[in-house]
Amino acid sequence: MRIVLQRVTSAQVAIEEQVVGQIKQGYLLLFGAADTDGEDEIDYYVHKIAKLRVFSDGAGKMNLSIQDVGGAILSVSQFTLYADTKKGNRPSFTKAGAPDHAKQIYERFNQKLRNAGIHVETGEFGADMQVSLVNDGPVTIIFDSADL
């Protein structure tokens, strides 16, 4: 599982110029799954993201979680996070999860974030999407289950 988390003041995703998901303060998550990902990885990252303290407290320190600030998540599937660029000029995506498996992992991940009490908006799995965001900070954090 690979997740790029960006703290945002706003973000939206559109398909064919129609907005399908949008949030104000919170996280934009770019999400990719591998065939080896399952419930353990989902549970680990849901907990990590829900509790991650990267929002400023009254003293200006990154000390508050998304739950503390009442933020939301815009979760966008992105198999290109598994691009292999070692050979040639055209990336290979063979390390990305098979579409059926990756979609199931993506949907379970989003549902578990919702179950943790976080409002989650999404794009559409497998669609050509346009993502707009205002990165706050900027704060960008990369998670990779290969590092677990």
Catalytic residues: 78-80
Q: Which two tokens stand for residue 93?
A: 């995506």
- The two three-digit tokens of residue 133, written as one number: 């965001």
Give me the residue label for tokens 């998550």.
29
The β-bridge partners of 73 are 27, 120
| Alpha-carbon gap, residue 123 to 20, rounded angstroms | 6
Strands (E), the chain: 2-15, 18-23, 26-32, 53-56, 62-65, 72-77, 119-122, 130-144
